[in-house]
Amino acid sequence: MARTTADTGTDPQPPAQDGTAPPARRRRRVWRVTVLVLLTGLLALGGGAWWMYQDLNGNLDNVDLDRALGGDRPGKQPAAGRNILLVGSDSRAGENAELDGGKVAGARSDTALVIHLPPGGERATAVSIPRDTLVTRPACTTDAGRELPEAERVMFNSVYGTGGPACVVRTVEALSGIRMDHYVEIDFAGFREVVDALGGVTVTTREPIADRATGLRLDAGTHRLDGEEALRFVRTRYGVGDGSDLGRIELQQQFLTAVVAEVRQQGILTSPAKLYRVADAATEALTTDSGLGTLTDLADFGRSLEGVDPATMETLTLPVRPDARDPNRVVTVKERADAVWQALRDGTPVPEAARASAGGEEGGGEGSGS
């Protein structure tokens, strides 16, 4: 079944000039690493849950990034922790076409977060890469085996549609100098189903939201969002801040922590019926690297995240500023961006000056494309 991501695409606009739709087998996308912890409880149910294990295991889709990327990658740094690339794709294929009325074709990685997990620590760091960021896409091999040459000033969210997961990982590794230990992705329709399986997620808004593109209207205050409303929430752009992609990133980061809190508050891991319902929706939506390609792998990974406290998770946006040649695109603020990546490489706190990535010169343009 065709799927795409949630932390992504917002306004229906034309695809990137060089964007092409990926093969159908890759249309199930992933975004939320938090749902992986749900799988831990499933394996704890014992032999009576074997049929559920088999069913959920069959839902999973994965890509062999080690084979696709080869040895030309940053070295592993086990002492500094682990790094996961979470990607949300905005393919409008299959069920996802309904979400935008089938108006937009192609696929892009509308959301990308580098999640850093320190060794044995509770304080994770999530760095969002704005989709409108102009980057250099390194030479890479697409899923179909086609060789793509290096390309400069490519909008980050077009890399996925052009080259697929392997090219996105290579681009992020070139940008950051950090090896991605794992790759996880979720799609629009899958995201909506996960939230509905949870029975909704609670968020609090400081200001009213009225987004003309998504149709979301919320008063300031606390709201219980169902799957469709949650999808509109994480795709909202014009209804918050200055209408740039940076405001939407803040909402996505807020929702990420709200999902983790919801899972813990509901005690999902102790309720077999609800656990299966949520895990079924989550695994249907997931595409991962082959290292997380089975339910057992995911459950082991989920166990390793149990010490991560969402209340202490640091979320920040890669420091960017409007591009001098195109104010509707952004480029990294090199000194600050380098400080962010260096902190993740070293396993040290991100410097205060590097966290201030929104507003002022770091703002994005109103027309930052879709």
Mean pLDDT of 339-353: 90
Give the containing element (helix H, strand E) for 295.
helix 295-304
For 343-357, b where at least 16 C-beta lie within 10 A, e where not — what string?
bbbebeebeeebbeb
Q: Would 33 be classed as within a structural domain? A: yes
Residue 185 pLDDT grade (very low, low, confident, very high; cuts 50, 70, 90): confident
* % the chain with pLDDT above 70: 69
Residues with Cβ within 8 Å of 175's Cβ and at least 6 positions away in sequence, in order, are 129, 135, 332, 341
**Total structural domains within the chain:** 1
* CA dist., res. 301 & res. 77, Å (int): 18
CA 201 from chain centre, in angstroms, equals 18
Least confident of 47-51, 266-270, 331-335, 339-343: 47-51
Cβ atoms < 10 Å from Cβ of 11: 20
Q: Rg (Cα) of the chain, in Å, rounded?
A: 19
Residues with Cβ within 8 Å of 78's Cβ and at least 6 positions away in sequence, in order, are 119
- Dihedral Cα 332, 333, 334, 340, nearest 10 deg: -90
Three-state secondary structure call for residue 31: coil
Q: Would 319 be classed as within a structural domain? A: yes
User: pLDDT higher for 15 or 57?
Assistant: 57
* CA dist., res. 361 & res. 167, Å (int): 29
Give the containing element (helix H, strand E) for 216.
none
Mean pLDDT of 79-107: 60
CB contact at 8 A, 229 and 42 = no
* CA dist., res. 81 & res. 283, Å (int): 25
Residues with Cβ within 8 Å of 133's Cβ and at least 6 positions away in sequence, in order, are 155, 156, 318, 320, 329, 330, 331, 332
Mean pLDDT of 297-319: 77
Task: Give the chain's length.
Answer: 370
Q: Would 240 be classed as within a structural domain? A: no
pLDDT of residue 187: 76
Mean pLDDT of 160-178: 93
- Dihedral Cα 94, 100, 101, 105, nearest 10 deg: -60
pLDDT of residue 28: 31
pLDDT of residue 281: 85
**Distance between terminal CA atoms of the chain?**
23
Provide the mean pLDDT of the chain.
Answer: 74
pLDDT of residue 121: 64
Domain that holds residue 168: 24-198+270-354
Q: Would 248 be classed as within a structural domain? A: no
pLDDT of residue 81: 84
pLDDT of residue 110: 64
pLDDT tens for 261-307 read: 887 787 776 677 777 888 888 888 888 899 888 878 877 777 677 67
Q: Would 241 be classed as within a structural domain? A: no
Domain at 332, CATH number: 3.30.420.590
* % the chain with pLDDT above 90: 25
Q: Would 131 be classed as within a structural domain? A: yes
Q: Would 148 be classed as within a structural domain? A: yes
pLDDT of residue 181: 92
Q: Would 238 be classed as within a structural domain? A: no
